[in-house]
Every structure is written in C-alpha cells, then in structure tokens.
A and B are shown apart, each in its own frame.
Chain A
Amino acid sequence: GAVVSQHPSWVICKSGTSVKIECRSLDFQATTMFWYRQFPKQSLMLMATSNEGSKATYEQGVEKDKFLINHASLTLSTLTVTSAHPEDSSFYICSARDTSVHTYNEQFFGPGTRLTVL
C-alpha cells in the first residue's frame, strides 16, 4: 500500500520549452502533495505544497509563475516547469500525504523525475 508514482521518470528538453511532471497516489487519497527539488550531492528542498482544490503554497524563493502546480483530484498533482532553462535541471520528487489515522499523516515519496534542460 501507499504507493506514489511519477511520470515521466526522466525527460530531456530544449531551453525555453515547458515540461509537465505528474505525481499520482495509486492506492490512497492525498489531499496534500509536496514537490521537492534535489540538486546533485544535496538534500531535498521543499518547493511547494499542493492542496487538492486550492492554490499551492510556495516556499520562499520559488517562482510560482515558473513552477505551476495543479492538484485537480485526490490522486493527482502536476508540476509544470515553464520556459525551462539549464539551471532548472534537477531531480524533482513528489510526495503524498496519507491522511488515514494509522499512518500519522506520513508522506510517501515518488521515485523522482530527472529533468535535463539543454
């Protein structure tokens, strides 16, 4: 149980294009999902908190117009990197919060998406 998937697992795009990454909770409902970014040899940095049916909450320094988040259902959140540039190349990981009582609102993580912008 508590499986989170991400698609695609990797993507290469040209500078200036937009890329959409999907995060799905496969066997539970997630009212809240989180998007993290991880640069090589560094830890995960929270980018934004995605709430189903409402606007995402972005961390300080993260451009909301560049990283568009949509959480239209209880099992799907999408992150769109608009007008991507080489400095956006990173490993993007999502997590979903299982709100059932027995899991202490634990977050479950997806396998990540490697974005390379040429």
Chain B
Amino acid sequence: KQEVTQIPAALSVPEGENLVLNCSFTDSAIYNLQWFRQDPGKGLTSLLLIQSSQREQTSGRLNASLDKSSGRSTLYIAASQPGDSATYLCAVRQETSGSRLTFGEGTQLTVNP
C-alpha cells in the first residue's frame, strides 16, 4: 500500500526566503506525482505535475523535482511571498491504480511579511 509522507508538517519563514518542501513515497512504481496548494476552507489548486519519466517541472517561482527510484520529490519555492501562505499537498498516482491519487498530509506554510 502506497504511503506518502510530507516533511515538515508546518513551516514559517520570513518573506523573501527560498524554501524546500519534501515529499516521500514508499512505492516507487508511480505514474506521476502532483503538487497542490490548498487555501483554508478551499479546494485544491494544481501547481505542478511530474510524469514518472521526468526529473523536474518549473512554473514561475516554483520548481518540483522527482527522484522516482528513491521515492522522493521536492517543491522549491523561490523568493517566498505572504501570498504563498497555504497548505501544500503532494499526491502520487500509481501505475496500476487507474487515476486514484494518494495524498500526503501536507505542509502548512506561513510566509511572514
């Protein structure tokens, strides 16, 4: 059974700092990995999706990497802003599970002005 772990559970940083969020998964037979953002009381916003054959994806100040063999992914946020404050979730899709996603418990990020 796939298990997804995110470290740290919470992170508080001053504005402008670069930061890294970590995600690990136990079963490396994944189809893809996705990073989401969730604001309080809201749904999910997809940030980046990395296919299993890819090593990284970039969107603006965000960069996500994937090391499938070691079961790890990182989300790098450059020059953090207060508006980046949210919970960040990673989710993996298995090769054999159709489209079902397994989510980590998230990292709650606070960027202080």
Contacts and interface: CB of A to CB of B under 8 A. Distances in A.
Interface in A29-71: 32, 34, 42-46, 49
B46 A46 contact: no
Interface residues of A, number: 23
Interface SS, A side = strand
Contacts of A108: 46
Interface SS, B side = strand
Nearest to B105: A43
- Most chain B beta-carbon contacts within 10 A, residue among A43, A93, A107: A43
B85 to A, nearest CB: 16
A51 B85 CA distance: 35
Contacts of A93: 43-44
A46 B36 CA distance: 16
Interface string A70-95: 00000000000000000000010101
Contacts of A18: none
Interface of A: 6, 32, 34, 42-46, 49, 91, 93, 95, 97, 104-112, 114
Interface of B: 32, 34, 36, 41-46, 49, 51, 89, 91, 98-101, 103-106
Given A104-B49, A112-B43, 17 more contacts: A32-B98, A34-B99, A43-B105, A43-B106, A44-B44, A44-B91, A44-B103, A45-B103, A49-B100, A93-B44, A106-B34, A106-B46, A106-B49, A108-B46, A109-B46, A111-B42, A112-B41
